[in-house]
Amino acid sequence: MYRILGVPASRYAPPAVLCLLAAGYLFASRQYDEQSRLMPMLIGRAMFVLAAIDVLSRSDTSVGRALLRWLNPAALSEQPQQDADARKELGYILWIIAFALAIMWIGMYVAVPAFLFLSFSLIGRRSLLQSLALSAGVGGAIWALFSLLLRLHLFPGLAFGGML
């Protein structure tokens, strides 16, 4: 198998895909007007930087080991389970893609609480009541922050009259 910086090339695939998605997201957000592209640009830049850090942390170099030790020390003590980790990473990437599509179709005010509810209940294995309370609290805080305090109109979603 082909190796890059002492690690099989396949280990770089998930964060490399995320870097490409972030770059595409940044490119696509340039078509929005100035106010509408602020949040997508912030999210895209953060995603790109974090994915790039993830790429670096996977290398078998002094920088990669230092990043791994600083960001995820538990990963240093575990034996890697390539297949299981790759499937989990792919699942998480697909989960984020589904979230981005949900934002596009049903908007921020519906997609964020729904995503949180499903994450808490399915992935976090919280009770339905806890998941509902946490999701409603975060959804309410997002609405209060953006609508009341900042007076910004978040994208309502294509299903609710939003236009790309």
Q: Please tell me whether residues 3 and 69 are part of one structural domain.
A: yes
**Structural domains in the chain (count):** 2
| For range 122-136, the mean pLDDT | 93
* Contact (Cβ atoms closer than 8 angstroms) between residue 56 and residue 1: no
Give the model's pLDDT for residue 138: 94
**Domain edge (last residue) among 49, 80, 111:** 80
CA distance linking residue 164 with residue 158, whole number of Å: 8
Q: Please tell me whether residues 56 and 104 are part of one structural domain.
A: no
| pTM exceeds 0.75, yes or no | no
Range of the domain at 21: 1-80
CA distances from 92 to 8, 18, 56, 88, 137 (A): 21, 11, 19, 6, 24
Give the model's pLDDT for residue 144: 94
CB atoms near residue 129 (< 10 Å):
9
71-124 pLDDT, tens per residue?
A: 877 766 655 555 567 778 788 888 988 998 999 899 989 999 999 999 999 988
| For range 29-39, the mean pLDDT | 84
Q: Please tell me whether residues 75 and 86 are part of one structural domain.
A: no
Give the model's pLDDT for residue 83: 56
List of residues 6+ apart from 39 with CB closer than 8 A: 154
Q: Please tell me whether residues 88 and 157 are part of one structural domain.
A: yes
CA distance linking residue 111 with residue 97, whole number of Å: 12
Q: Please tell me whether residues 108 and 127 are part of one structural domain.
A: yes
Q: Please tell me whether residues 66 and 98 are part of one structural domain.
A: no
**Domain edge (last residue) among 46, 80, 114:** 80
